[in-house]
Amino acid sequence: MANFAYVAKSEDGTEVTGFQAGTTSDEVVDHLHRRGLIVLHVVESRTRDSGRQSSQFMALMTQGRVGTRDLSLFSSQFSTVLEAGVPLVRGLRSLASDTTNRTLSKALDDVATRLESGETLGGAMAAHPEAFNVMFVSMIRAGERAGTLDLLVGQLATYLERLDNIQTKVKSALSYPIFVLSFVLLAGAFLLLQVVPTFSKIYGDMGQKLPTLTRAMITASNLLRENILLFLAALVVLGFLATLGFRTDRGRLLRDRFVISVPIFGPIVRKAVMSRFTRTLSILVRSGLPIMESLTMVAGAVGNVVIARAVEDARGHLAAGAGVTEAFRRTGKFPEMVLQMMATGEEAGNMETMLQKTSDFYDRQVEAATQSLAQLIEPVMVVFVGAVIGVIVVSMFLPIFNLGDAIVKGGANL
C-alpha cells in the first residue's frame, strides 16, 4: 500500500488537494471518483514521512510542464511505435532517450518501469501530470479499454499538432505589436534620460525662451530623472500585483474577458479559442468518452476562463435535461456558427465530425486573420514609432529653428 498525492475538483468546481492511500494510481482515481471528485493529477508519494510528502506534493504543483509541441512530437512518434508493433516498454524507453525535453524523458522512463511492474499505460502516465494532462491520460485509458490505442494516439498527435499550429499563429500576431511598444518605451526613456538633458543644459545657458512643446518635453525629462527609482518601484509593484491578481479566479476571468473583447486582436483570440473548444470536444466524443466527462475536460483545456465557465454552465444545463445544442445556446457565449454545426451533428448523430469541420473552419479563419493583421499592422507600427520618437526629437530642435528664423529676420531688417 502506497500514498498518492492528488489534485482534484469537487462538483461545485472547488479545487481539492491531499493524500490518498492505495495500491495503484488507478485504484486511487477510482476511489476519488466514488467520492464525487474530478481527478486532475495523481502522483505516488514514495515515503510516509509527512515532511517528505509535503515537499513531494509541492513538487507536483510547481514542476515544469511539457509543452504542446513536445507532446505533439511524442504522440506522433508513439503512434508510429504502436503501428509498427514495437513492444510498449522498449518503444517508450527508446522515445525517452530520443526526446530533448528532460521532463518528458524522465516521465517516459518511469512509465516504462511502471509498465514492467504491471501497471496500465493510462495509470502509469497519470502519475506524471507534469508531462501528461488529464485529457491525454483519459484518451489513453479510453484507447486501452476499447482496444484502439494506436488509433487514438494518432488522433491525439493530429489534435496536438493543430493546436500547436494555431497557438503559434496567435502568439505571432500578438508578439509583434508588443515588441514594438516595448521598443518605443525603451527608446523614449533613453531620449528623455540622456538626450533631452543635454539640450536642456544648452538652452538654459542661452537664456532663450523655449517653445511650449520643448518646455513640456524638458519637464517630462526632469520628472523622469528625479523620480526614476520611484517609477521603477511602481512598475515592479504593479507587475507583482498583476501577477497575484491573475492567479485568482476573478483576475483570470477579467484578463480573459479583456483578451477576447479587445478590438482587432480579440476576434482572433476568440476564433482560436472556438477552434480549440470544438477540436477538443470532437476528439473526446470520438474516443467514446461520456459527454459529461468530456465537457469537464474541455472546460480545463479551452485556455480561456470565460469560455471554460460557459462550458461548465452548459454541462449543468445538460445534466438538467437540456439537449447538447440547447445547453450551449443558453450560455450565450458561443457563436451561431458553432451552435448550428452542433445542432446538425446532434440531429445526424455525427457530432464529432461536425465539430471537427467547425474547428477546421476556425483554423482557416485564424490563419487568414493573422496574415491580414500582419500586413496591416506593420506600416501602422512604423508610423507610430516614427511619430513618438519624431515628436521628442523635433521638440528639441524647435528652439534652433526659431533662432534661425530670428537671425534671418534680423538680417532682413538691417
The pLDDT tens digits for 264-286 are: 888 988 999 999 899 989 988 88
Count of C-beta atoms within a 10 Å radius of residue 10: 12
How far is residue 322's CA from residue 327's CA, in Å, rounded to a whole number? 6
11: confidence class by pLDDT, cuts 50, 70, 90: low
- Whether 382 shows a pLDDT value over 80: the answer reads yes
End-to-end Cα distance, the chain: 106
Q: What is the pLDDT of residues 131-154, one digit of tens each?
A: 888 778 888 888 888 788 888 888
Confidence of residue 50 (pLDDT cuts 50, 70, 90): very low
Sign of CA dihedral 208, 214, 220, 225: negative
Please state, in angstroms and rounded to a whole number, the distance separating the CA atoms of residues 248 and 176: 28
User: What's the confidence (pLDDT) of residue 45?
Assistant: 53
Q: What is the pLDDT of residue 277?
A: 92
Predicted pLDDT at 336: 93
Task: Report CA-CA distances (Å) from 167 to 245, 302, 313.
Answer: 24, 12, 25
Q: Which CATH architecture has domain 166-414?
A: Up-down Bundle (1.20)
Rounded Cα distance, 95 and 19, in Å: 31
Which residue carries 495523481 as its cell? 42
Average the pLDDT over 292-313 and give the result. 87
CA distance linking residue 262 with residue 256, whole number of Å: 10
Region(s) of the chain under CATH 1.20.81.30? 68-161, 166-414
Mean pLDDT along residues 164-178:
82
Report the pLDDT value the prediction gives residue 289, as an integer from 0 to 100.
81
Specify the DSSP class assigned to residue 41.
E
Closest CA to 195 of 178, 218, 171: 218
C-alpha cell of 25?
A: 494510481
Indicate the range of 27-41, 96-110, 310-324 predicted with least confidence: 27-41
CATH homologous superfamily of 68-161 = Type II secretion system (T2SS), domain F (1.20.81.30)
pLDDT level of residue 288 (50, 70, 90 thresholds): confident
Q: Is the pLDDT of residue 167 over 90?
A: no
Give residue 358's pLDDT: 94
By C-alpha distance, which of 131, 110, 115 is closest to 60?
131
Name the amino acid, one letter, at 337.
M
How large a percentage of the chain has pLDDT more than 70? 86
DSSP-derived pairing of the beta strands 38-45 and 2-9: antiparallel
What's the chain's average pLDDT? 82
Can you tell me the mean pLDDT for 384-406?
80
